[in-house]
Amino acid sequence: MERQEILKQVNEVFMDVLDNEDIVLSDTTTADDVEEWDSLTHVQLIVEVEKHFKIKFTSQEILTWKNVGEMITSIENKIK
């Protein structure tokens, strides 16, 4: 899957979980840029992304991402 396609699908998961159609993610988006994205919804986002791509992140990954781009890279590596 192309990186761009992954980003698009992650974006859809975010819109669904956070119940906000206006979210536009890019590689540099961080939690500070999205209003509803807090430590609580973060858990939910990760679980839904995992379900969507049928993958499992390690806790190390979850704790170290600095932005959406790094999450996309993790996904990319797992579904290759």
Partner 1 sequence: MMENKDIPTFKELKKILKQTDTSSLLKIKVALLGDSATQLLVTALKGEAIRRGFCLDLFEAEYNQVERQILDPTSDFHAFKPQITILFQSTHKLLTHFEELPPQQRNSLAKDRVDFLSDALSLIDGKVIVYNYPEIDDAVFGSYANKIDSSFVYQTRKLNFELMNLAGTNPNLFICDLSSIQNKIGRDTAFDSSVYTSTEMVLSIDVLPFVAQRTMDIIASLQGKFKKCLIMDLDNTLWGGVIGDDGLEGIQLGHGFGIGKAFSELQLWIKQLKDRGIILAVCSKNNEQTAKEPFEKHPEMVLKLDDIAVFVANWETKVSNIMQIQQILNIGFDSMVFIDDNPFERNIVRENIQQMTVPELPEDPAEYLEYLYSLNLFETTSYSANDKDRTKQYQVEAQRVGERKHFTNENEFLQSLNMVSEVEGFTKYQTPRIAQLTQRSNQFNLRTVRYTEEDIQRLEADKEHYKCFSFTLQDKFGDNGMICVIVLEKKDKDTLFINEWLMSCRVLKRGMEYFTLNTLVDYAKKEGYKTIIGEYIPTPKNSMVEKHYTNLGFQPLENKENQFVLRVEDHEEKQVFIKKKE
Residues binding partner 1 (CB under 8 A)? 16-17, 19, 39-40, 43-44, 46-48, 56-59, 62-63
> How big is the chain, counted in residues?
80
Tokens of 12: 């859809």
- Residue 17 CB, shortest distance to partner 1, in Å, is 7
User: Is there a contact between 51 and 69 (Cβ–Cβ < 8 Å)?
Assistant: no
Question: 37: how many CB neighbours lie within 10 A of its CB?
Answer: 21
> For partner 1, which is the closer residue by CB, 2 or 22?
22
> For partner 1, which is the closer residue by CB, 26 or 44?
44
> For partner 1, which is the closer residue by CB, 7 or 46?
46
